[in-house]
Amino acid sequence: MGFREISKIVASLILGATLSYGSGTLANLHGTKGQPDKELGLMVKKLNSIGFDAVGKNEHIETHYYNKYKEKNLDLLNFYPVVDKELIRELLLANPDFGAYAPFNLLAFKKMAKDGGDTTWYGHLDADLMLKIIGEKDEANKKKFKDMVAKLDKLVIKEMKPTKEKILSFDGELPAKPLLKMVMKFDKPDDIEEFVEEFIMKHDGLFAKKEFIIAGFLDLKFEYGDMDLAFDKYDAYWVSSLCHFGFSNSVFNHGDPQAGVFAPCSVYFYIPKGKNELHVGYATVDNWISTTGIKDSKKIAYMKEISNSVEKAFEELGFEKESDSSKKVETPKVEKKVSVAKKDEVKKAPITGSSNVSSQLAELKDMVAKLSKDVKTIKKILNED
């Protein structure tokens, strides 16, 4: 076999691997032709039949964008932050960082007809991606979480009866610190519940001044007490769904509605039992930039600006970054076994074709460059509505 033939085989393997495997999956979206408002509403009502709750029903957000900014670029944008309180309890007791996705967002969106939008897409962050951002290592806990998410997917498919499906993938790796975790130490209060209430009022007031919206609130410590379920590891645990309307309009209403799988941001707070420490954590915007395909430099700069304002707000409240920084999280690499000739066979194999090695390498380089361009085109086609 000549050099040219070997080069073509290698290049085809590269192309095949590129199309079949991304560095990670952002979301597996299902689609229904048209705009199934009624079906979405009925599906959400049935969440409690599988133990899930919709913490919020933020429907037709595109209408609010139009009312405030006079910009309409979507026919539909719905956020349903969902959580299975009973199943997530055991995971929170094992790792408080599961609060980053307690709840997580069930997204539905439809682009306008002028942008090729004839399908409503719905789905959520890939379960493996959520686990990587959380930083969970325990295999048993990972399985429990994935089984919980799979239960939701089964209901969505059963009720929505989708006719289309597409996988959104990304290349590269997550940020070195997918979660921003901070802690605030305080003097022991006479009444912990009163302390928490005063802090929440102060927190909400500060973020309101910075034009943020609390799109949802879940006091898990209270919920588990009401459900007669043990949650003694924490003196307090709650989750706020944080949203910045200008931020969300600039991203979701301007070409990247798929990034809504990350919204609204679940900011989790907890006080370990008997400790005078209030911890806060959330998945950073850097995760969005690494995975959602957003490329516009001005948009990214604005996203980072808003992200920095969140961190500064927590610093104003008295928080400092935790010293225990998480290790770099890398997406799994797919290895393919390729049959390779033995050393002696390589030495004996005759080289056919041009004897000029430089020209051969240049030819291969041009071939790979062309394939890379073709792959980008194919990916663009696959990701279109």
What CATH number is attached to the domain comprising 103?
3.30.310.70
Parent domain of 101: 19-321
In a domain, 154, yes or no: yes
14: Cβ contacts below 8 Å, ≥ 6 apart? 368, 371
pLDDT higher than threshold 90 for residue 359: no
In a domain, 329, yes or no: no
In a domain, 99, yes or no: yes
In a domain, 186, yes or no: yes
Residue in this structure with the two tokens 């379960």, named with its chain if needed:
127
As a whole number of angstroms, the distance between CA 383 and CA 359 comes to 36
For 32-91, how does the pLDDT look when each residue is reduced to its tens digit (9 = 90+)?
999 999 999 999 999 999 999 999 899 999 999 999 999 999 999 999 999 999 999 999
In a domain, 176, yes or no: yes
As a whole number of angstroms, the distance between CA 306 and CA 244 comes to 8
As a whole number of angstroms, the distance between CA 60 and CA 115 comes to 18
For 316-347, how does the pLDDT look when each residue is reduced to its tens digit (9 = 90+)?
999 999 974 343 334 333 333 333 333 333 33
In a domain, 59, yes or no: yes
- Mean pLDDT score of the chain: 85
What total of structural domains would you count in the chain? 1
* Nearest alpha-carbon partner for 282 in 305, 297, 296, 262: 262
What are the structure tokens assigned to 266, written together? 């679940």
Environment class of residue 326 by beta-carbon count within 10 Å: exposed (0-12), middle (13-18) or buried (19+)?
middle
For 190-210, how does the pLDDT look when each residue is reduced to its tens digit (9 = 90+)?
999 999 999 999 999 999 999
In a domain, 285, yes or no: yes
Predicted model pTM = 0.79
pLDDT higher than threshold 70 for residue 9: no
How many other C-beta atoms are found inside a 10 Å radius of the C-beta of residue 70?
7
In a domain, 173, yes or no: yes
pLDDT higher than threshold 90 for residue 312: yes
pLDDT higher than threshold 70 for residue 177: yes
